[in-house]
Amino acid sequence: FTFAAPPHTGISWFLEAAKQAGQPLQMEHPWQCHTPFHEGQAGFSVSLIRHPYTWLQALYFNPQEDRLEATPEVDWIVREAKKANYFHSFVNTIAEHPGCIGSMFGAYQATSVLRVEDFPWAAMSLFELVGAPTEKVNTLRNFLPDFALDIPPIDQTAKLRRMIVKSEAEFCERYE
């Protein structure tokens, strides 16, 4: 299968899990996994998604390298994260563009989309589906993702989260 996903969606964990399950994904450059699939690309493809609010947190508090070559939406959001002096101003900017996060995730147009909140189980099911040996897949039960972020306490967390959920209502409805 082929794989592509936006940054900060558990890519490192997923690539290592694929390797452990006997399904290693070969990429010439690590940033290539951020490039969406070509339109009309044949075969089974996989992408990852994350809740829009936690994705924005990850992006803002763990800055991305400059060379993404992903989607125009990813590149724009990354630039906005770098420009913002405060997380709440970054969230306000993104909320002023309703649907941009859903559109960004949608640009990957994968055959199968996994939510990072469902790891490791969703990945294990995928690897079994593509024929990985059961004994290798079962090792992932103990390979739990660590998506903990070093995020400072934010007084307005609930308010900011509601703002993004409202701005991304259509995507959040499908997401849940």
Return per-residue pLDDT of the chain as tens, 176 residues.
Answer: 888 899 889 888 999 999 999 998 877 666 678 778 777 667 888 999 999 999 999 889 887 665 556 678 888 898 899 999 999 999 999 999 999 999 999 888 888 999 999 999 999 999 999 999 999 999 999 998 887 666 666 667 888 989 999 999 999 888 87
Q: In 3D, which of 170, 122, 152, 153 has the Cα closest to residue 14?
A: 122
62 neighbors 149 (Cβ within 8 angstroms) = yes
24 neighbors 18 (Cβ within 8 angstroms) = yes
pLDDT attached to residue 153? 67
pLDDT attached to residue 19? 93
Residue 120: is the preceding peptide bond cis (ω within 30°)?
A: yes
61 neighbors 150 (Cβ within 8 angstroms) = yes
- Rounded CA separation 121/103 (Å): 26
What is the amino acid identity at position 6? Answer: P
Q: What are phi and psi of 77, to 5 degrees?
A: -65, -40
Nearest-5° angle of CA 4, CA 26, CA 100? 10
Q: In 3D, which of 118, 157, 155 has the Cα closest to residue 140?
A: 118
- In sequence order, what E strands does 18-70 have? 45-49
pTM over 0.95: no
- Rounded CA separation 148/170 (Å): 27
pLDDT attached to residue 149? 61
Q: In 3D, which of 48, 173, 55 has the Cα closest to residue 114?
A: 48
**DSSP element (H, E) containing 114:** strand 112-115
Helices (H) and strands (E) in the chain, counts: 9, 3
